[in-house]
Structure 1
Amino acid sequence: MDFEHNKANIIDSIKQAEEAGATIRFGSELEIPGYGCEDYFLEMDTINHSWEVLAEIIEEGWTDNIICDIGVPVYHKSFLYNCRAIVYKRRIHLLRPKTSLNNERGKYENRYFTEWTDLEELVDFDLPEEIKAVTNQEQVKLGVAILNFLDCKMIHEVGTEFQDNQRLANFMKKNSYQKNLDGEEDRINIVLNSTCTFHSLGRLQDKIDKILEHSSSFGAAYVVSNQIGCDGSQLICDGGSMIVSNGKVIAKGSHFNLKTCEGVISPIDLDEISNSQKSTEHNVLNDRDLFINKVEIPLYVCKSSSRGVPFYENINRTLSLPEEISLSCAHWLWNFLIRSEAKGFLLPLSGGLDSACVCTICFSLCRLIFQDISDDENSPTLNSLRRVIRDDSFVPTSPQEICEEILSCYYLGTENSSSRTYQRAFELSQEIGCKFDKCKIDGLYDSSLGIFTDLFQRHPRYLCQGGTEEEDLALQNIQARVRKIFASFIAESNSFDRNDEGYLQILSTTNVDEALTGNITKYDNSSGTLNPIGGLNKDDLRKFLEYAKEEFGLDSLQSILDANPTPELRPSDDIEKDSTQIDEQDLGLTYSQLNVLGRLRTVERCGPVSMFSKLTEVWFDLSPSEIAQKVKIFFTLYSKNRHKAFSLAPSLCISQYEVDIKYDYRQSLYNDEWSFQFKRIDQMVDELDKEDLV
């Protein structure tokens, strides 16, 4: 919805393309309003403003000397279409609508758009008045068509059409390798694929492999334009726009860089493509031949140029899973920071693994910022950083200097906190250079207990002091909530500490295992402003810290990795030692087991019975009754605590197993006894035990 920003990026990309000698500028899906407008697509203002921006781009002459392929929503006969506008010399040559909509994982295209179903017809579309005024056109063709230039032919793929529409895929295979009735070659040379691909952990290479497969299968060059960064939601696009020819990547953009606009530019050898097409034959399904219209554009696309071919480093390198976490989470935080009035982040740093992960992700962001500034002294990133910290003269000399400006960490301890967790938090903060302070919040905690005692004339006690389980839990929860209240007070009163304007965004540290089982306190720090790790489980977070320890040179992370996860909310005999309160003991499940259970529920879509059945085939070290107990604990915790999911901070959703309520549609009210399902599991346990006896 930031039309001015999006327009500036489109113009910047046109400039980059022209300076490099390109003849075509090709952008990502719905780039004028932004792909992530969601229900704003239901408002006519969004469609009207998109046309207004396109009219301004044309009127200002940006399409006079280069073919521009721009993403825009088009409203036609009471239906909204996701379209590509092909513009050249102040004329729109085609509006190409999307034929297959995507409705998986955060994409709700059917809610707003309509699929274009007639692949063989071009219809007349009446252009808006603002477009008529700058193009002198009354109408333009709307539909699927081949762009027929004087020296080559191109066709569009919007999103994953060639995967989802078999007729289009068959057409591509046939037309890429056959001659027309006159015997002349009539092959499609280039596929223009505009997309908005949300990042999914561990799936980057799968995406690249699919593009390589299509390039080889269709015998055409493949030009892929993908968005990069957060488009205003809990998802993030991973960039990596690329140009592929004959099954080889010849140019590729970076993943998760901080640039607002990155051009991927390369010449394409059409002779090489033609030779490959002539030497290859394909068996194609017997489908009725699909006729696709051509739109004639009297222009030679190919030209000789003395410009050198851009060099792309590490073009075939793929990111490891920890690298993906490091870059995607950092990039997501940066997008939220620069679009807010905040002056930085506040993190309650406990010395545990989860808060250490969030802290390290912030340092990863500082490294990205510093690298971008070092590579380009005129980088827009430096201007954004200066605006965030309110210092127009700031020039960092290290990532640590940036970290000191944008990250404030506080160790908010109580009498139950150990000196070891404080030491871990302190050592990590010193290595990354962030602002760090400690304070005891026992005063707030004691005041809360005092009010309670005055009201009920009774002092609650921990379980180890003779209290009930309910009292014990209430005493733990009030500590966690007081910690959040004080963190909010600090974040909103940042000007008192740093003598300047601007609040701090509170970072939450709840992982996906805790969100799934409800092993959190409702309205504690789990309800912060943002949570970069809310879609990641403990096992993947450990892998990330192990990577960061080596890659970032953070030796202090080793002691955090070695420690047992503990909330430190119960009294301890010796605060000089680690707390004896261990998360896994409280849960009755290890985090490794939670990882498996969570994936089975979310990815494999297992209920209690099917989950038990699958686990009996892989957990050979546990008896059927022990497995049954684990499954029952898991689903009981989930159903009892499901209501907590509705108070969690917005988290970055990048994993297949994330459980954010925006993408995990399950009810909040349950019969947490699961009586029917658990009885069936008990029957299966009895049957398995009898088989073992036999």
Structure 2
Amino acid sequence: MTLIVTLATCSLNQWALDFDGNLERIRKSIQLAKAAGATIRTGPELEITGYGCQDHFYESDTYRHAWEVLAELLQDEKCHGILLDIGMPVSHKGVHYNCRIVALDGRILLIRPKMHLANDGNYRELRWFSPWTQRRTLDEYWLPPVVQETTGQTKVPFGDAVVATLDTCVGIELCEELFTPRSPHIDMFLDGVEIVTNSSGSHHELRKLHRRIELIKEATLRNGGAYAYANQQGCDGDRLYYDGCALVSVNGEVVAQGSQFSLNDVEVVTATIDLDDIRSLRGSNSSRCMQAVQTPPYPRVEALISLSKPSLALSTPLRPTRPISPKYHSTAEEISLGPACWLWDYLRRSRMSGFLLPLSGGLDSCSTATIVDSMCRLVLLAIAEGNEQVIADAQRLCATPEDPLRLPQSPQDLAQCIFHTCYMGTANSGRETRQRAKDLAAQIGSYHVDLNMDSMVSAVVTLFTTITGKTPQYEANGGTTTENLALQNIQARLRMVLAYLFAQLLPWTRSQRGSLLVLGSSNVDECLRGYMTKYDCSSADINPIGGISKQDLRTFLAFYRDKYQLPLYDQFLEATPSAELVPFSATYVQSDEAEMGMTYDELSVFGRLRKVARCGPVAMFHKLYHEWGSGGSGLSALAPSVIASKVKRFFYYYSINRHKMTTLTPSYHAENYSPDDNRFDLRPFLYNAGWNWQFRKIDEAVDKLKPE
């Protein structure tokens, strides 16, 4: 007779400080888990408050409201009959902790604080919380009155313990703890824990998911056991998109996996496991057994519930869920889906009426427009599937006085309601780019405006001339570099002013309510190099491609072209990237890469070495010498002096433009070398751009590499 357990884990689209919404989503997930026959349910990290409360975790209100929400869940009899693992912040003896609350039938069994906190990249948990460092130790936690009245309890165990049910043992791990060298699950499994839950707030980053899944599989492979992983999904109020993918792994294999990108607010993933499979695997491993007998025991908190059901006693026998192959999206699919889901969350939760995008006819703004198109396709698919939340949001956005419950009938129909594009041309704009923008808008279905802004540019220049008596000229007309750059910046900044004007008033001209969110279109490499005008049309409300490289955007557009058979995209992929801010002629066309003095491919390399490999100028030179130089495997076999020149050029322009990152539009975080200031990339914005000591050391290295 085997012992069958059905586990439930979930992805919830929680929102920072949305206590009503968070409560309902948690409650719904519990009810869905029970309906699926699960006897244990785990949810995302800090699910009651939302993960992204940031400095609101300093406020006593945040903790007070979290307990109030928990009390509502505990007294709801529809949430009884299942072992619950719920996340919230807890203040204990004046110290704030990131905790899991284990509850059963309206009573709290254990408060388990997080022991290893995420404190790098996008995460600042040590700013708000302290780790619980007393391993295998319990303290007493005195419950607040609102919970005492609900549960009849005055105090509960607080600390590092496991939960012993009538038939098995459950351990708890929190997000970062999985990624540490000595993860708690190792000792838990050795001490007889058979099921470990992990509640996470893990964000999407391109090409990242496989690391998470491999760690989870490995957690159960060497030791045997079941691992139920839950995660936040959606935009929690910041530039991160939490990418769900709740899953269950047993004995080194994935048996259930949820979606990575979804418009569903609640997604519950269940798997049925056989405890005998775990016990059989463990008993046959002599080395594991020898380590297990030497492992110090965990305190055990009793839960008077049997998670398993004897399979032969069931009228319809339950069968263990069969292993599956994990699903991974390609990079292009990730770009197509992640930022699109993030945009939808931002739009519906901001209560704005839609988007406005300055559509230049170039690859970057085409990528942003395409992500909006992908969002529209996802919304239509969710409507067809009967997603009530998406239907309600779409009706609000598409309602008319004649039809307040109107729903879009196609992606283009939705785009016509919410997506506005604007081509802002000057005398320096090309006919081809204007036509590409117009054709793309027609294909996607956006409400498109085409205008010339030469009169605005001329008015600003005339004002300057009136005041100073001097008229700036382009270099092509005999002007200096300073004049040339100033004239370009006038155009770029005026486009930003126009974008916000049209964002506020275009809905009014169409007899619609509200105003629009302005979308930016600067890619991560331009931001890194600072190849943008401060407060130009890259200054926007949000930017879905600000964390994506030019290389990946090309791959994405090619994928989208092929998937939906859109030959128009060939024109964007083949066009030379150009700002089109200076006069062009038969012999000169402004080129981004020529002006930057480096290619977009090189910028991606510089960015990863600077941020991911943590290289200063000298370390970057040495690495690139082995990669690009004659001493390495690089196809180009560049001379050391050429590599040195490229490194110096990059660091010079990176440093003189770093100040632009202080005003960078909040961007969807997708790349691990993002230069996003104060949020992900904590570096100064005032540098000695000469890098005198560092560049001198590079020159010395080049001299040593010269042949004698």
TM-score by length of 2: 0.92
Indicate conservation of the 8 Å contact 1:252/1:315, yes or no. no
Of 474, 477, 480, the residue aligned with 1:462 is: 474
Aligned twin of 1:345: 355
Distance 1:308 1:352, change over 3 A: farther
Q: What per-residue deviation string (whole Å, max 9, x for no partner) do you get for residues 589-628 of structure 1?
A: 1111111111111111111111111111122332112111
Aligned twin of 1:250: 255
Of 434, 439, 442, the residue aligned with 1:427 is: 439
Q: Report the Cα distance in structure 2 between the residues aligned to 1:522 and 1:190, rounded to whole angstroms.
A: 52
Q: Which runs of 5+ in 1 are unaligned?
A: 176-186
Q: What per-residue deviation string (whole Å, max 9, x for no partner) do you get for residues 141-176 of structure 1?
A: 11122211111111111113254263835423532x
What aligned pairs does 1:184-199 form with structure 2 within 5 A after superposition? 187-199=192-204
Q: Is 1:70 aligned to 2:86, yes or no?
A: yes
Q: Report the Cα distance in structure 1 between the residues aligned to 2:77 and 2:380, rounded to whole angstroms.
A: 36
Aligned twin of 1:297: 303
Aligned twin of 2:143: 127
Aligned twin of 1:647: 663
Q: Is 1:505 aligned to 2:510, yes or no?
A: no
Indicate conservation of the 8 Å contact 1:21/1:307, yes or no. no
Q: Quote how far apart the aligned CAs of 1:308 are.
A: 7.6
Distance 1:169 1:23, change over 3 A: closer
Q: Report the Cα distance in structure 2 between the residues aligned to 1:167 and 1:530, rounded to whole angstroms.
A: 37
Aligned twin of 1:554: 566
Of 682, 685, 702, the residue aligned with 1:665 is: 682
Q: Quote how far apart the aligned CAs of 1:311 are.
A: 9.1
Indicate conservation of the 8 Å contact 2:244/2:258, yes or no. yes
SS of the aligned residue for 2:166 comes to coil
Indicate conservation of the 8 Å contact 1:106/1:663, yes or no. yes
Q: Is 1:355 aligned to 2:380, yes or no?
A: no
Q: Is 1:320 aligned to 2:337, yes or no?
A: no
Of 250, 272, 283, the residue aligned with 1:267 is: 272
Q: Report the Cα distance in structure 2 between the residues aligned to 1:454 and 1:86, rounded to whole angstroms.
A: 73
Aligned twin of 2:395: 386
Q: Report the Cα distance in structure 2 between the residues aligned to 1:310 and 1:188, rounded to whole angstroms.
A: 19
Indicate conservation of the 8 Å contact 1:127/1:137, yes or no. yes
Aligned twin of 1:216: 221
Q: What amino acid does structure 2 have at the position aligned with 1:581?
A: Q
Q: What amino acid does structure 1 have at the position aligned with 2:647?
A: V
Of 31, 37, 61, the residue aligned with 2:47 is: 31
Q: Report the Cα distance in structure 1 between the residues aligned to 2:648 and 2:509, rounded to whole angstroms.
A: 49
Q: Quote how far apart the aligned CAs of 1:378 are.
A: 4.5
SS of the aligned residue for 1:237 comes to strand
Deviates more, 1:148-157 or 1:57-66: 57-66
Q: What per-residue deviation string (whole Å, max 9, x for no partner) do you get for residues 240-282 of structure 1?
A: 0011112111111101100011011122211222222222244
Q: Quote how far apart the aligned CAs of 1:358 are.
A: 0.4
Indicate conservation of the 8 Å contact 1:494/1:502, yes or no. no
Of 538, 553, 561, the residue aligned with 2:550 is: 538
Deviates more, 1:652-661 or 1:43-52: 652-661
Of 375, 378, 398, the residue aligned with 1:365 is: 375
Deviates more, 1:424-433 or 1:637-646: 424-433
User: How many residues get paired?
Assistant: 676
Q: What per-residue deviation string (whole Å, max 9, x for no partner) do you get for residues 531-579 of structure 1?
A: 11111111111111111111233221111100110000001236xxx97
Aligned twin of 2:608: 599
Q: Quote how far apart the aligned CAs of 1:514 are.
A: 1.1
Q: Is 1:154 aligned to 2:170, yes or no?
A: yes
Of 408, 414, 420, the residue aligned with 1:396 is: 408
Distance 1:380 1:307, change over 3 A: farther
Indicate conservation of the 8 Å contact 2:360/2:423, yes or no. yes
Of 522, 531, 539, the residue aligned with 2:534 is: 522
Deviates more, 1:493-502 or 1:86-95: 493-502
Q: Is 1:476 aligned to 2:494, yes or no?
A: no
SS of the aligned residue for 1:84 comes to strand
Aligned twin of 1:436: 448
Q: Report the Cα distance in structure 1 between the residues aligned to 2:324 and 2:250, rounded to whole angstroms.
A: 17
Of 570, 592, 599, the residue aligned with 1:583 is: 592
Indicate conservation of the 8 Å contact 1:256/1:327, yes or no. yes
Q: Quote how far apart the aligned CAs of 1:497 are.
A: 2.2
Q: What amino acid does structure 1 have at the position aligned with 2:407?
A: V
Q: Is 1:684 aligned to 2:683, yes or no?
A: no
Distance 1:285 1:516, change over 3 A: farther
Q: Is 1:612 aligned to 2:618, yes or no?
A: no
Q: Report the Cα distance in structure 2 between the residues aligned to 1:561 and 1:311, rounded to whole angstroms.
A: 45
* Identity within the alignment, %: 41
SS of the aligned residue for 1:350 comes to coil
Of 6, 22, 37, the residue aligned with 2:38 is: 22
Q: Report the Cα distance in structure 2 between the residues aligned to 1:455 and 1:311, rounded to whole angstroms.
A: 78
Q: Is 1:573 aligned to 2:590, yes or no?
A: no
Q: What amino acid does structure 2 have at the position aligned with 1:617?
A: H
Q: Report the Cα distance in structure 1 between the residues aligned to 2:398 and 2:619, rounded to whole angstroms.
A: 52
Q: Report the Cα distance in structure 2 between the residues aligned to 1:447 and 1:310, rounded to whole angstroms.
A: 74
Distance 1:302 1:636, change over 3 A: same
Indicate conservation of the 8 Å contact 1:26/1:225, yes or no. yes
Q: Report the Cα distance in structure 2 between the residues aligned to 1:566 and 1:314, rounded to whole angstroms.
A: 47
SS of the aligned residue for 2:627 comes to coil
Deviates more, 1:464-473 or 1:66-75: 66-75
Q: Report the Cα distance in structure 1 between the residues aligned to 2:193 and 2:292, rounded to whole angstroms.
A: 20
Q: Report the Cα distance in structure 2 between the residues aligned to 1:522 and 1:14, rounded to whole angstroms.
A: 48
Q: Quote how far apart the aligned CAs of 1:288 are.
A: 6.9
Q: Report the Cα distance in structure 2 between the residues aligned to 1:308 and 1:582, rounded to whole angstroms.
A: 64
Q: What amino acid does structure 2 have at the position aligned with 1:318?
A: Y
Q: What amino acid does structure 1 have at the position aligned with 2:26?
A: I
Aligned twin of 1:136: 152
Q: What per-residue deviation string (whole Å, max 9, x for no partner) do you get for residues 377-415 of structure 1?
A: 243111112223445422223222222222111111011
Of 440, 448, 465, the residue aligned with 1:453 is: 465
Of 506, 509, 513, the residue aligned with 1:494 is: 506
Indicate conservation of the 8 Å contact 2:81/2:105, yes or no. yes
Q: Report the Cα distance in structure 1 between the residues aligned to 2:479 and 2:125, rounded to whole angstroms.
A: 54
Q: What amino acid does structure 2 have at the position aligned with 1:121?
A: T
Distance 1:69 1:546, change over 3 A: same
Q: What amino acid does structure 2 have at the position aligned with 1:450?
A: T
Indicate conservation of the 8 Å contact 1:491/1:504, yes or no. yes
Q: Quote how far apart the aligned CAs of 1:647 are.
A: 1.5
Indicate conservation of the 8 Å contact 2:27/2:79, yes or no. no
Over the aligned positions, Cα root-mean-square deviation in angstroms equals 2.0
Q: Is 1:110 aligned to 2:129, yes or no?
A: no
Aligned twin of 1:228: 233
Distance 1:20 1:334, change over 3 A: same
Deviates more, 1:561-570 or 1:119-128: 119-128
